[in-house]
Structure 1
Amino acid sequence: MELPDCNSKYSRKDYWEERFAVEKEFNWLGGLRHYVDVLDDMLSSFYKSDSILQLGCGNSSFSTELSAHGWTNITNMDISLNGLNRLREREPRSEYLLMDMTRMPIKDHSFDIVIEKATLDSLLVTAKSPWNFQSEENLLVSKVLSEVKRILRPGGTFISITFTQPHFRVPILTTKGLDWSVRVDTVESSGLPSYVMQMTAGDPKPALDKYCWVHSIEVKVKDSADLIISSEDEDFLGNIDPNSDSENDNDVSR
Protein backbone atom coordinates (compact mmCIF):
# COMPACT_ATOMS: atom_id res chain seq x y z
CA MET A 1 0.00 0.00 0.00
CA GLU A 2 1.42 3.39 -1.03
CA LEU A 3 1.87 5.73 1.93
CA PRO A 4 -0.20 8.92 2.08
CA ASP A 5 1.46 12.09 0.87
CA CYS A 6 0.53 13.82 4.13
CA ASN A 7 -0.35 12.61 7.61
CA SER A 8 -3.77 14.29 7.52
CA LYS A 9 -5.01 11.45 5.31
CA TYR A 10 -4.85 9.14 8.31
CA SER A 11 -7.94 10.94 9.61
CA ARG A 12 -9.95 10.44 6.39
CA LYS A 13 -12.40 7.65 5.64
CA ASP A 14 -11.53 7.46 1.95
CA TYR A 15 -7.87 6.81 2.75
CA TRP A 16 -8.75 3.81 4.91
CA GLU A 17 -11.24 2.43 2.41
CA GLU A 18 -8.56 2.51 -0.28
CA ARG A 19 -5.88 1.09 1.99
CA PHE A 20 -7.99 -1.75 3.38
CA ALA A 21 -9.09 -2.71 -0.12
CA VAL A 22 -5.56 -3.95 -0.82
CA GLU A 23 -3.91 -4.40 2.58
CA LYS A 24 -4.67 -7.66 4.37
CA GLU A 25 -3.48 -6.81 7.88
CA PHE A 26 -1.57 -4.20 9.85
CA ASN A 27 -1.20 -4.01 13.62
CA TRP A 28 -0.63 -0.46 14.81
CA LEU A 29 1.55 -0.47 17.94
CA GLY A 30 1.90 -4.23 17.72
CA GLY A 31 -0.27 -7.17 18.67
CA LEU A 32 -1.82 -8.37 21.90
CA ARG A 33 1.32 -10.16 23.05
CA HIS A 34 2.84 -6.79 23.99
CA TYR A 35 -0.12 -5.79 26.16
CA VAL A 36 -1.58 -9.05 27.42
CA ASP A 37 -0.09 -8.84 30.93
CA VAL A 38 -1.28 -5.27 31.50
CA LEU A 39 -4.73 -5.99 30.05
CA ASP A 40 -5.13 -9.16 32.11
CA ASP A 41 -4.45 -7.10 35.22
CA MET A 42 -6.72 -4.23 34.23
CA LEU A 43 -9.56 -6.58 33.30
CA SER A 44 -9.13 -9.04 36.17
CA SER A 45 -12.53 -8.12 37.65
CA PHE A 46 -14.37 -8.85 34.39
CA TYR A 47 -15.61 -12.13 32.98
CA LYS A 48 -14.40 -13.39 29.61
CA SER A 49 -18.07 -13.39 28.53
CA ASP A 50 -18.45 -9.65 29.22
CA SER A 51 -19.12 -7.52 26.16
CA ILE A 52 -16.25 -5.73 24.42
CA LEU A 53 -16.51 -2.99 21.79
CA GLN A 54 -13.33 -2.27 19.84
CA LEU A 55 -13.28 1.19 18.28
CA GLY A 56 -11.58 1.53 14.91
CA CYS A 57 -10.72 -2.13 14.45
CA GLY A 58 -9.50 -1.67 10.88
CA ASN A 59 -7.80 -4.79 9.55
CA SER A 60 -5.83 -5.44 12.76
CA SER A 61 -5.66 -8.91 14.28
CA PHE A 62 -6.23 -7.48 17.77
CA SER A 63 -9.80 -8.76 18.22
CA THR A 64 -8.81 -12.14 16.79
CA GLU A 65 -6.10 -12.30 19.43
CA LEU A 66 -8.54 -11.26 22.16
CA SER A 67 -10.84 -14.05 21.03
CA ALA A 68 -7.97 -16.56 21.09
CA HIS A 69 -7.20 -15.34 24.61
CA GLY A 70 -10.68 -16.35 25.76
CA TRP A 71 -12.90 -13.29 25.26
CA THR A 72 -16.14 -14.51 23.71
CA ASN A 73 -18.33 -11.42 23.23
CA ILE A 74 -16.53 -8.98 20.93
CA THR A 75 -17.99 -6.32 18.66
CA ASN A 76 -15.71 -4.57 16.18
CA MET A 77 -16.54 -1.11 14.91
CA ASP A 78 -14.97 0.89 12.11
CA ILE A 79 -15.83 3.62 9.62
CA SER A 80 -14.41 1.52 6.76
CA LEU A 81 -16.48 -1.26 5.23
CA ASN A 82 -13.37 -2.72 3.62
CA GLY A 83 -11.65 -2.88 6.98
CA LEU A 84 -14.61 -4.66 8.55
CA ASN A 85 -14.81 -7.13 5.69
CA ARG A 86 -11.10 -7.90 5.97
CA LEU A 87 -11.46 -8.63 9.65
CA ARG A 88 -14.69 -10.59 9.28
CA GLU A 89 -12.90 -13.01 6.94
CA ARG A 90 -10.52 -13.94 9.78
CA GLU A 91 -12.88 -13.58 12.74
CA PRO A 92 -16.43 -14.60 11.74
CA ARG A 93 -17.49 -15.19 15.35
CA SER A 94 -17.43 -11.51 16.29
CA GLU A 95 -20.06 -8.85 15.61
CA TYR A 96 -19.39 -5.92 13.29
CA LEU A 97 -20.67 -2.34 13.18
CA LEU A 98 -20.09 0.19 10.40
CA MET A 99 -20.28 3.63 12.02
CA ASP A 100 -18.58 6.84 13.03
CA MET A 101 -17.28 6.66 16.60
CA THR A 102 -18.04 10.36 17.19
CA ARG A 103 -21.79 9.64 16.95
CA MET A 104 -22.62 6.02 17.60
CA PRO A 105 -26.27 4.95 17.27
CA ILE A 106 -25.81 2.55 20.17
CA LYS A 107 -28.07 2.38 23.22
CA ASP A 108 -26.84 3.74 26.53
CA HIS A 109 -25.04 1.25 28.79
CA SER A 110 -24.51 -1.35 26.07
CA PHE A 111 -20.94 -2.55 26.70
CA ASP A 112 -18.86 -3.64 29.68
CA ILE A 113 -15.54 -2.82 28.04
CA VAL A 114 -14.64 -0.36 25.28
CA ILE A 115 -11.13 -0.59 23.88
CA GLU A 116 -9.16 1.22 21.20
CA LYS A 117 -5.60 1.01 19.91
CA ALA A 118 -4.19 4.08 18.12
CA THR A 119 -7.66 5.01 16.84
CA LEU A 120 -7.94 8.25 18.82
CA ASP A 121 -4.42 9.06 17.64
CA SER A 122 -5.68 9.08 14.05
CA LEU A 123 -8.02 11.97 14.90
CA LEU A 124 -5.10 14.10 16.08
CA VAL A 125 -2.78 13.90 13.08
CA THR A 126 -3.70 17.39 11.86
CA ALA A 127 -3.34 19.10 15.24
CA LYS A 128 -0.81 21.94 15.09
CA SER A 129 0.14 21.52 18.75
CA PRO A 130 -0.54 18.71 21.25
CA TRP A 131 -0.63 21.37 23.97
CA ASN A 132 -3.78 22.99 22.61
CA PHE A 133 -6.54 21.05 24.33
CA GLN A 134 -9.21 23.24 22.72
CA SER A 135 -8.13 22.43 19.19
CA GLU A 136 -10.68 21.10 16.72
CA GLU A 137 -8.94 17.74 16.82
CA ASN A 138 -8.97 17.42 20.60
CA LEU A 139 -12.61 18.53 20.70
CA LEU A 140 -13.38 15.70 18.27
CA VAL A 141 -11.64 13.26 20.60
CA SER A 142 -13.75 14.66 23.44
CA LYS A 143 -16.90 13.82 21.44
CA VAL A 144 -15.72 10.22 21.17
CA LEU A 145 -15.02 10.08 24.89
CA SER A 146 -18.51 11.37 25.69
CA GLU A 147 -19.96 8.65 23.47
CA VAL A 148 -17.82 6.02 25.18
CA LYS A 149 -19.01 7.15 28.60
CA ARG A 150 -22.61 6.97 27.42
CA ILE A 151 -22.43 3.43 26.06
CA LEU A 152 -20.44 1.99 28.96
CA ARG A 153 -22.42 0.02 31.51
CA PRO A 154 -22.14 0.98 35.21
CA GLY A 155 -18.90 -0.55 36.44
CA GLY A 156 -17.55 -0.71 32.89
CA THR A 157 -14.14 0.39 31.72
CA PHE A 158 -12.54 2.12 28.74
CA ILE A 159 -9.03 1.16 27.68
CA SER A 160 -6.96 3.26 25.28
CA ILE A 161 -3.63 2.06 23.87
CA THR A 162 -1.69 4.97 22.44
CA PHE A 163 1.73 6.36 21.58
CA THR A 164 0.60 9.78 22.87
CA GLN A 165 2.38 10.68 26.10
CA PRO A 166 0.13 10.88 29.17
CA HIS A 167 0.58 14.60 29.78
CA PHE A 168 -1.00 15.23 26.35
CA ARG A 169 -3.81 12.67 26.68
CA VAL A 170 -4.76 12.62 30.37
CA PRO A 171 -6.03 16.25 30.40
CA ILE A 172 -8.66 15.21 27.82
CA LEU A 173 -9.51 11.99 29.66
CA THR A 174 -10.13 13.94 32.86
CA THR A 175 -12.44 16.52 31.30
CA LYS A 176 -15.26 17.58 33.60
CA GLY A 177 -18.33 15.43 33.06
CA LEU A 178 -16.46 12.24 32.23
CA ASP A 179 -15.78 11.63 35.92
CA TRP A 180 -13.13 9.01 35.23
CA SER A 181 -10.20 7.87 37.27
CA VAL A 182 -7.24 7.20 34.99
CA ARG A 183 -4.59 4.51 35.33
CA VAL A 184 -1.57 4.68 33.02
CA ASP A 185 0.83 1.81 32.35
CA THR A 186 3.87 2.06 30.07
CA VAL A 187 4.71 -0.81 27.72
CA GLU A 188 8.20 -0.86 26.21
CA SER A 189 8.15 -4.19 24.36
CA SER A 190 6.26 -2.86 21.32
CA GLY A 191 9.38 -1.07 20.08
CA LEU A 192 8.66 2.46 21.24
CA PRO A 193 6.99 3.43 24.51
CA SER A 194 3.28 2.78 24.29
CA TYR A 195 0.79 3.70 26.98
CA VAL A 196 -2.18 1.66 28.16
CA MET A 197 -4.70 3.97 29.81
CA GLN A 198 -7.65 2.62 31.75
CA MET A 199 -10.64 4.79 32.57
CA THR A 200 -13.21 3.80 35.17
CA ALA A 201 -15.80 5.79 37.12
CA GLY A 202 -13.96 7.54 39.92
CA ASP A 203 -11.93 10.49 41.08
CA PRO A 204 -9.85 12.14 38.33
CA LYS A 205 -7.80 14.17 40.83
CA PRO A 206 -4.82 11.79 41.20
CA ALA A 207 -4.31 11.71 37.43
CA LEU A 208 -4.86 15.48 37.21
CA ASP A 209 -2.24 16.07 39.89
CA LYS A 210 0.26 13.76 38.21
CA TYR A 211 -0.12 14.73 34.55
CA CYS A 212 -1.94 18.03 34.12
CA TRP A 213 0.82 20.45 34.99
CA VAL A 214 0.90 21.15 31.24
CA HIS A 215 -2.02 23.57 31.65
CA SER A 216 0.46 26.10 32.99
CA ILE A 217 2.69 25.93 29.93
CA GLU A 218 2.19 28.14 26.89
CA VAL A 219 3.54 26.79 23.63
CA LYS A 220 3.59 28.80 20.42
CA VAL A 221 3.67 26.77 17.24
CA LYS A 222 4.16 28.18 13.76
CA ASP A 223 1.78 27.03 11.05
CA SER A 224 3.38 24.38 8.91
CA ALA A 225 2.48 21.96 6.17
CA ASP A 226 1.60 18.41 7.09
CA LEU A 227 4.66 16.32 7.77
CA ILE A 228 5.19 13.26 5.62
CA ILE A 229 5.62 9.97 7.45
CA SER A 230 8.20 7.61 6.00
CA SER A 231 7.75 3.91 5.42
CA GLU A 232 10.25 3.29 8.22
CA ASP A 233 8.17 5.47 10.55
CA GLU A 234 4.97 3.60 9.73
CA ASP A 235 6.63 0.25 10.37
CA PHE A 236 8.05 1.70 13.59
CA LEU A 237 4.60 2.73 14.76
CA GLY A 238 3.35 -0.67 13.71
CA ASN A 239 5.77 -2.33 16.09
CA ILE A 240 9.42 -1.85 15.00
CA ASP A 241 9.72 -5.59 14.48
CA PRO A 242 9.17 -6.22 10.76
CA ASN A 243 7.50 -9.52 11.69
CA SER A 244 4.88 -7.74 13.81
CA ASP A 245 2.34 -7.92 11.03
CA SER A 246 2.87 -11.59 10.37
CA GLU A 247 1.09 -14.52 11.93
CA ASN A 248 3.86 -14.66 14.56
CA ASP A 249 2.37 -11.58 16.22
CA ASN A 250 -0.87 -13.47 16.81
CA ASP A 251 0.81 -15.76 19.33
CA VAL A 252 -0.23 -14.32 22.68
CA SER A 253 1.46 -17.05 24.67
CA ARG A 254 4.88 -15.43 24.48
Structure 2
Amino acid sequence: MVGADNQRLREDFLLETLFEKDRLNLVYTHIDRMIVGGAIPAEAALEISDGAAVGTEGFFDAREMGIANLGGAGVVEVDGQRFEVANRDVVYVGRGTKAVTLSSLAADEPAHFYMNSVPAGVDLPSVLITKAQSKPVTMGDEARANKRTLRMYIHPEVSPSCLLLMGITQLAPGSIWNTEPPHVHERRMEAYLYFDLAPEDRVMHFMGEPSEVRALSVANLQGVLSPAWSIHMGAGTGPYAFVWGMTGENQAYNDVTPVAIVDLR
Protein backbone atom coordinates (compact mmCIF):
# COMPACT_ATOMS: atom_id res chain seq x y z
CA MET A 1 0.00 0.00 0.00
CA VAL A 2 2.95 2.34 0.59
CA GLY A 3 3.31 4.61 -2.42
CA ALA A 4 -0.17 3.93 -3.79
CA ASP A 5 -2.15 7.02 -4.73
CA ASN A 6 -5.79 7.52 -3.79
CA GLN A 7 -7.10 6.11 -7.06
CA ARG A 8 -5.05 2.92 -6.65
CA LEU A 9 -6.37 2.44 -3.10
CA ARG A 10 -9.94 2.83 -4.31
CA GLU A 11 -9.38 0.37 -7.15
CA ASP A 12 -7.85 -2.25 -4.83
CA PHE A 13 -10.01 -1.96 -1.70
CA LEU A 14 -13.28 -0.15 -2.49
CA LEU A 15 -16.26 -1.93 -4.07
CA GLU A 16 -18.19 0.97 -5.58
CA THR A 17 -20.88 -0.72 -7.72
CA LEU A 18 -22.22 -3.84 -6.06
CA PHE A 19 -25.93 -3.07 -6.36
CA GLU A 20 -27.67 -2.73 -9.73
CA LYS A 21 -31.31 -3.42 -10.54
CA ASP A 22 -31.94 -6.95 -11.84
CA ARG A 23 -28.24 -7.78 -11.91
CA LEU A 24 -26.07 -10.08 -9.81
CA ASN A 25 -22.59 -8.66 -9.13
CA LEU A 26 -19.98 -10.93 -7.52
CA VAL A 27 -16.40 -9.82 -6.85
CA TYR A 28 -13.67 -12.41 -6.25
CA THR A 29 -11.43 -10.45 -3.87
CA HIS A 30 -8.43 -12.84 -3.69
CA ILE A 31 -8.15 -11.80 -0.01
CA ASP A 32 -8.63 -15.15 1.74
CA ARG A 33 -10.68 -15.99 -1.40
CA MET A 34 -13.76 -14.17 -0.13
CA ILE A 35 -16.38 -13.33 -2.74
CA VAL A 36 -18.44 -10.19 -2.09
CA GLY A 37 -21.67 -9.59 -3.95
CA GLY A 38 -24.80 -7.52 -4.33
CA ALA A 39 -28.14 -7.97 -6.08
CA ILE A 40 -31.43 -6.09 -6.48
CA PRO A 41 -33.91 -8.56 -8.01
CA ALA A 42 -36.80 -6.24 -8.88
CA GLU A 43 -38.45 -7.47 -12.09
CA ALA A 44 -36.64 -10.80 -12.36
CA ALA A 45 -35.29 -13.48 -10.04
CA LEU A 46 -31.52 -13.98 -9.96
CA GLU A 47 -29.77 -17.34 -9.57
CA ILE A 48 -26.41 -18.39 -8.13
CA SER A 49 -25.44 -21.88 -9.23
CA ASP A 50 -22.68 -22.04 -11.84
CA GLY A 51 -19.20 -22.64 -10.45
CA ALA A 52 -17.07 -21.96 -13.53
CA ALA A 53 -15.62 -18.75 -12.07
CA VAL A 54 -14.45 -20.58 -8.92
CA GLY A 55 -13.20 -23.71 -10.68
CA THR A 56 -15.93 -26.12 -9.60
CA GLU A 57 -19.03 -27.47 -11.28
CA GLY A 58 -21.35 -25.75 -8.82
CA PHE A 59 -20.77 -22.47 -7.05
CA PHE A 60 -21.32 -24.02 -3.62
CA ASP A 61 -19.38 -27.26 -4.17
CA ALA A 62 -16.62 -25.96 -1.88
CA ARG A 63 -18.16 -22.73 -0.54
CA GLU A 64 -20.58 -21.36 2.03
CA MET A 65 -22.33 -17.98 1.89
CA GLY A 66 -24.11 -15.40 4.02
CA ILE A 67 -26.87 -13.31 2.42
CA ALA A 68 -28.11 -10.18 4.23
CA ASN A 69 -31.21 -8.32 3.07
CA LEU A 70 -30.79 -4.55 3.36
CA GLY A 71 -33.91 -3.55 1.40
CA GLY A 72 -37.55 -4.50 1.03
CA ALA A 73 -38.94 -7.94 1.77
CA GLY A 74 -37.41 -10.70 -0.33
CA VAL A 75 -37.21 -14.42 -0.86
CA VAL A 76 -34.13 -16.64 -0.89
CA GLU A 77 -34.73 -20.14 -2.23
CA VAL A 78 -32.02 -22.70 -1.44
CA ASP A 79 -32.51 -25.89 -3.46
CA GLY A 80 -36.25 -25.26 -3.39
CA GLN A 81 -36.39 -24.40 0.33
CA ARG A 82 -38.09 -21.00 0.59
CA PHE A 83 -36.96 -18.38 3.10
CA GLU A 84 -38.89 -15.11 3.34
CA VAL A 85 -36.26 -12.55 4.29
CA ALA A 86 -37.15 -9.23 5.92
CA ASN A 87 -34.91 -6.19 6.21
CA ARG A 88 -31.80 -7.06 8.27
CA ASP A 89 -32.45 -10.79 8.20
CA VAL A 90 -29.60 -13.07 7.07
CA VAL A 91 -29.61 -16.44 5.31
CA TYR A 92 -26.75 -18.89 5.75
CA VAL A 93 -26.19 -21.11 2.69
CA GLY A 94 -24.25 -24.30 3.33
CA ARG A 95 -21.64 -26.07 1.24
CA GLY A 96 -23.07 -28.51 -1.28
CA THR A 97 -26.06 -26.38 -2.23
CA LYS A 98 -26.98 -26.70 -5.91
CA ALA A 99 -28.78 -23.41 -6.56
CA VAL A 100 -29.81 -20.22 -4.78
CA THR A 101 -32.53 -17.98 -6.23
CA LEU A 102 -33.03 -14.39 -5.09
CA SER A 103 -36.28 -12.47 -5.60
CA SER A 104 -38.36 -9.63 -4.15
CA LEU A 105 -41.93 -9.67 -2.87
CA ALA A 106 -42.63 -6.25 -4.45
CA ALA A 107 -40.85 -4.81 -7.50
CA ASP A 108 -41.41 -1.22 -6.28
CA GLU A 109 -39.72 -2.01 -2.95
CA PRO A 110 -37.13 -4.61 -3.96
CA ALA A 111 -34.84 -6.53 -1.69
CA HIS A 112 -31.18 -5.53 -1.61
CA PHE A 113 -29.20 -8.72 -1.06
CA TYR A 114 -25.59 -8.45 0.13
CA MET A 115 -23.43 -11.58 -0.02
CA ASN A 116 -20.18 -12.86 1.49
CA SER A 117 -18.92 -16.29 0.35
CA VAL A 118 -15.81 -18.12 1.52
CA PRO A 119 -14.30 -21.60 1.07
CA ALA A 120 -15.76 -24.19 3.44
CA GLY A 121 -14.66 -27.63 4.57
CA VAL A 122 -17.85 -28.95 6.16
CA ASP A 123 -21.49 -29.33 5.16
CA LEU A 124 -23.93 -27.43 7.35
CA PRO A 125 -27.67 -26.88 6.79
CA SER A 126 -28.89 -23.65 5.23
CA VAL A 127 -30.93 -21.54 7.63
CA LEU A 128 -32.69 -18.20 8.02
CA ILE A 129 -31.44 -16.05 10.90
CA THR A 130 -33.89 -13.24 11.63
CA LYS A 131 -32.95 -9.98 13.30
CA ALA A 132 -34.83 -11.15 16.39
CA GLN A 133 -32.70 -14.32 16.49
CA SER A 134 -29.39 -12.46 16.22
CA LYS A 135 -27.33 -11.77 19.32
CA PRO A 136 -27.04 -8.05 20.15
CA VAL A 137 -23.96 -6.69 21.89
CA THR A 138 -23.89 -3.00 22.85
CA MET A 139 -20.51 -1.34 23.13
CA GLY A 140 -18.84 2.04 23.09
CA ASP A 141 -19.55 5.31 24.85
CA GLU A 142 -21.74 8.28 23.94
CA ALA A 143 -19.04 10.64 25.25
CA ARG A 144 -16.60 9.24 22.67
CA ALA A 145 -19.24 9.18 19.90
CA ASN A 146 -18.73 5.43 19.34
CA LYS A 147 -21.77 3.83 20.99
CA ARG A 148 -23.16 1.06 18.80
CA THR A 149 -25.06 -2.22 18.82
CA LEU A 150 -23.40 -5.13 17.07
CA ARG A 151 -25.66 -8.03 16.06
CA MET A 152 -24.11 -11.45 15.50
CA TYR A 153 -25.89 -13.59 12.90
CA ILE A 154 -23.49 -16.15 11.41
CA HIS A 155 -21.45 -16.83 14.52
CA PRO A 156 -20.81 -19.87 16.76
CA GLU A 157 -23.01 -18.32 19.47
CA VAL A 158 -25.99 -17.93 17.11
CA SER A 159 -25.80 -20.01 13.93
CA PRO A 160 -22.74 -22.10 13.01
CA SER A 161 -20.65 -22.01 9.85
CA CYS A 162 -17.32 -23.42 8.76
CA LEU A 163 -15.23 -20.22 8.61
CA LEU A 164 -17.60 -17.36 7.78
CA LEU A 165 -18.62 -14.77 10.37
CA MET A 166 -21.28 -12.18 9.53
CA GLY A 167 -23.21 -9.53 11.41
CA ILE A 168 -24.70 -6.04 11.30
CA THR A 169 -23.74 -3.04 13.42
CA GLN A 170 -25.97 0.00 14.01
CA LEU A 171 -24.56 3.20 15.46
CA ALA A 172 -26.48 4.96 18.21
CA PRO A 173 -27.94 8.40 17.44
CA GLY A 174 -25.19 11.00 17.66
CA SER A 175 -22.32 8.50 17.41
CA ILE A 176 -20.09 8.53 14.34
CA TRP A 177 -17.22 6.05 14.96
CA ASN A 178 -17.82 2.42 14.01
CA THR A 179 -14.90 1.22 16.11
CA GLU A 180 -12.49 3.33 18.12
CA PRO A 181 -9.71 2.73 18.90
CA PRO A 182 -8.92 0.68 15.78
CA HIS A 183 -7.47 -2.81 15.75
CA VAL A 184 -6.05 -5.46 13.47
CA HIS A 185 -6.79 -9.18 13.46
CA GLU A 186 -3.83 -10.88 11.85
CA ARG A 187 -5.63 -14.21 11.52
CA ARG A 188 -8.75 -12.90 9.75
CA MET A 189 -9.66 -10.52 6.93
CA GLU A 190 -12.84 -8.46 6.98
CA ALA A 191 -15.23 -6.93 4.48
CA TYR A 192 -17.51 -4.00 5.27
CA LEU A 193 -20.70 -2.86 3.51
CA TYR A 194 -21.92 0.57 4.58
CA PHE A 195 -25.65 1.21 4.20
CA ASP A 196 -28.55 3.44 5.28
CA LEU A 197 -26.48 6.55 4.49
CA ALA A 198 -28.18 9.63 3.06
CA PRO A 199 -27.02 10.47 -0.50
CA GLU A 200 -25.04 13.47 0.73
CA ASP A 201 -23.27 11.58 3.53
CA ARG A 202 -20.06 9.57 3.52
CA VAL A 203 -18.13 7.29 5.85
CA MET A 204 -14.44 8.09 6.09
CA HIS A 205 -12.97 4.59 6.37
CA PHE A 206 -9.43 4.57 7.77
CA MET A 207 -7.17 1.71 6.70
CA GLY A 208 -3.52 0.74 6.30
CA GLU A 209 -0.73 -0.29 8.62
CA PRO A 210 -0.66 1.78 11.83
CA SER A 211 2.39 3.64 10.53
CA GLU A 212 0.72 4.39 7.15
CA VAL A 213 -2.89 5.36 7.80
CA ARG A 214 -4.99 6.36 4.79
CA ALA A 215 -8.70 7.10 4.31
CA LEU A 216 -11.33 6.12 1.77
CA SER A 217 -14.51 8.15 1.26
CA VAL A 218 -17.33 5.58 1.11
CA ALA A 219 -20.93 6.16 -0.04
CA ASN A 220 -24.15 4.27 0.62
CA LEU A 221 -24.13 0.57 -0.39
CA GLN A 222 -20.40 0.54 -1.09
CA GLY A 223 -18.03 -2.08 0.31
CA VAL A 224 -14.50 -1.94 1.69
CA LEU A 225 -12.00 -4.78 1.91
CA SER A 226 -9.80 -4.89 5.00
CA PRO A 227 -6.79 -7.26 4.74
CA ALA A 228 -5.40 -8.84 7.90
CA TRP A 229 -2.51 -6.36 8.01
CA SER A 230 -4.76 -3.29 7.97
CA ILE A 231 -6.41 -1.35 10.74
CA HIS A 232 -10.03 -0.43 10.23
CA MET A 233 -11.94 2.44 11.77
CA GLY A 234 -14.58 4.69 10.27
CA ALA A 235 -16.42 7.93 10.99
CA GLY A 236 -19.64 8.97 9.29
CA THR A 237 -20.93 12.43 8.46
CA GLY A 238 -24.47 11.24 9.24
CA PRO A 239 -26.37 8.16 10.47
CA TYR A 240 -25.32 4.80 9.01
CA ALA A 241 -25.01 1.07 9.65
CA PHE A 242 -22.73 -1.61 8.24
CA VAL A 243 -22.52 -5.31 7.56
CA TRP A 244 -19.29 -7.00 8.61
CA GLY A 245 -18.07 -10.32 7.30
CA MET A 246 -14.90 -12.17 8.22
CA THR A 247 -12.97 -15.31 7.41
CA GLY A 248 -9.55 -16.69 8.23
CA GLU A 249 -7.86 -19.01 10.67
CA ASN A 250 -10.51 -18.92 13.39
CA GLN A 251 -13.92 -17.64 14.43
CA ALA A 252 -12.79 -16.02 17.69
CA TYR A 253 -14.37 -12.58 17.44
CA ASN A 254 -12.14 -11.19 20.21
CA ASP A 255 -8.91 -12.39 18.57
CA VAL A 256 -7.80 -8.82 17.84
CA THR A 257 -4.82 -6.58 18.51
CA PRO A 258 -5.88 -3.05 19.54
CA VAL A 259 -3.92 -0.12 18.17
CA ALA A 260 -3.74 3.02 20.32
CA ILE A 261 -4.86 6.22 18.62
CA VAL A 262 -1.61 7.92 19.69
CA ASP A 263 0.37 5.29 17.76
CA LEU A 264 -1.28 6.02 14.40
CA ARG A 265 0.81 7.84 11.83
More helix by share: 1
Using CA pairs under 8 Å that are at least 6 residues apart, name the structure with larger relative contact order, 1 or 2.
Answer: 1
Tell me the TM-score normalised to structure 2 length: 0.31
More strand by share: 2
Tell me the TM-score normalised to structure 1 length: 0.32
